Amino acid sequence: MTYDEFNAFCQSLPATTYVMQWNRSHVWKVGEKVFAIGGLGRDGNPAYIFKTSELNYHFLSEHPGYRPAPYFASRGMKWIQHYDSTPETDEALQYYLESSHKLVASGLSQRKQKALGLEPVSPTQ
């Protein structure tokens, strides 16, 4: 997945906003809360970071092309970095980005969800 594809997908999700920050990272938020970040991996290629459920965190931590997200995971947060993006993995990455969006949105107050035009959101696995 390229940055353009990543940004287009994140933009297609409801009530999202984009900002470039943290050393030119592509940061996507729902409300004021971050749900996805596009940046550079250790090898200088695009890498995508997203929040995940505990179950998916443990699964993806052992899955090729994924690892606990630098900085986030070292602080006990359940964030994963997808660093080996290929056309074959794009569908799975889109699923995890959408799940991250729902997980973060579900943490917003009901008032904030309503103000953003979101249906009441419950987290997914």
d(CA 111, CA 27): 24
Residue position matching structure tokens 């933009």: 11
Query: Of all residues in the chain, what percent carry a pLDDT higher than 70?
Result: 96
pLDDT at 125 over 70: no
| pLDDT tens per residue across span 25-41 | 999 999 999 999 999 87
pTM for the complete prediction?
0.90
d(CA 68, CA 35): 15
Specify the fold of 3-115.
Aspartate Aminotransferase, domain 1 (3.90.1150)
Instruction: Give first-to-last CA distance, the chain, whole Å.
Output: 22
Average pLDDT over the chain reads 90
pLDDT band for 75, please (50, 70, 90 cuts). confident
pLDDT at 72 over 70: yes
Residue 54 CB coordination number (10 Å) = 9
Question: Which of 88, 86, 102 minimizes the C-alpha distance to 53?
Answer: 102
